[in-house]
């Protein structure tokens, strides 16, 4: 069965993502809509939410997974993004290439293991490849085992490991995938994508 994915424009999307983040106890500091708008405004970005039947009512569709990403340029001036570009500069080439950063995402606990995150990731890859991006990079932490396993299943390569001074679970893992047209043919999920009203 096809996964139903909704693509959002900036302001309504940011509000939806703020709402979605409340369901994740893995995220210590939840993103606010304002923070999301400030990050994405003025740069190429993609806000996707997967919908599925509510647990107690198959006819009622609810948001179950989300994924937000944006363009990352070598000329970033925002301190957080500047820092990210510097850390990536040893393993990702920005010169003459478009790099997409898979910023945040997740699947609500009750809906995990049903392919929702793969569907969102494949949709993000397809969208980014069509818009001329060459590479998709993500950052996670050593302790996020399900996320590392998921990215591994989707053939992201580890491109950098930054050990934390005293807590290895907090060590940073940078992963990347080159975006090629042939990769789209290997996608496994069927997806219906609609634009949010």
Ligand X SMILES: CC(C)(COP(=O)(O)OP(=O)(O)OC[C@H]1O[C@@H](n2cnc3c(N)ncnc32)[C@H](O)[C@@H]1OP(=O)(O)O)[C@@H](O)C(=O)NCCC(=O)NCCS
| Site for ligand X, rule CB under 6 A | 26, 65, 106-107, 112-118, 140, 144, 146-147, 149-150, 153
**Nearest distance, CB of residue 58 and ligand X, angstroms:** 19
Minimum CB distance to ligand X, residue 100 (Å)? 16
Nearer to ligand X, 130 or 155 (CB): 155
Task: Report angle CA 96, 99, 103 to the nearest 5 degrees.
Answer: 160
Least distance (Å) between residue 67 CB and ligand X: 9
Are 34 and 10 in contact by the 8 Å Cβ rule? The answer is no
Quick one: 23 or 132, whose CB is closer to ligand X? 23
CB of 73 to ligand X, least distance (A): 22
Helix (H) or strand (E) holding 70: strand 57-72
Judged by beta carbon, residue 11 or residue 26, the one nearer ligand X is: 26
Nearer to ligand X, 69 or 106 (CB): 106
Residue number of the CB closest to ligand X reads 106
Cα–Cα distance for residue pair 93/178, rounded to 1 Å: 11
Q: Classify each residue of 92-114 as buried b or exposed e, where b means 16 or more C-beta atoms within 10 Å of its C-beta.
A: bebeeebbbbbbbbbbbeebeee
Minimum CB distance to ligand X smaller for 112 or for 134: 112
Closest CB 95 distance from ligand X, rounded Å: 27
Interatomic CA distance for residues 159 and 156, integer angstroms? 9
Residue 180 to residues 84, 92, 134, 185, 195, Cα–Cα distance (Å): 24, 16, 7, 10, 25
């Amino acid at each position: 069965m096809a996964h139903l994915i909704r693509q959002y424009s900036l302001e309504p999307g940011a509000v939806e993502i703020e709402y979605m983040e409340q369901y994740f106890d893995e995220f210590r500091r939840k993103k606010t809509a304002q923070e999301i708008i400030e990050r994405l405004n003025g740069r190429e970005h993609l806000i996707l939410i997967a919908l599925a039947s509510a647990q107690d009512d198959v006819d009622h569709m609810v948001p179950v997974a989300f994924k937000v990403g944006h363009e990352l340029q070598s000329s970033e001036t925002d301190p957080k993004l500047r820092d990210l570009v510097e850390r990536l500069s040893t393993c990702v080439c920005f010169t003459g290439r478009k790099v997409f950063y898979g910023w945040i995402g997740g699947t609500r606990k009750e809906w995990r293991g049903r392919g929702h995150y793969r569907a969102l990731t494949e949709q993000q890859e397809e969208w980014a490849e069509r818009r001329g991006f060459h590479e998709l990079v993500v950052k996670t932490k050593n302790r996020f085992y399900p996320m590392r396993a998921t990215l591994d299943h989707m053939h992201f390569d580890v491109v950098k490991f930054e050990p934390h001074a005293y807590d290895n679970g907090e060590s940073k893992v940078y992963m990347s995938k080159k975006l090629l047209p042939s990769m789209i043919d290997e996608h496994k999920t069927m997806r219906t994508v609609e634009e949010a009203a």
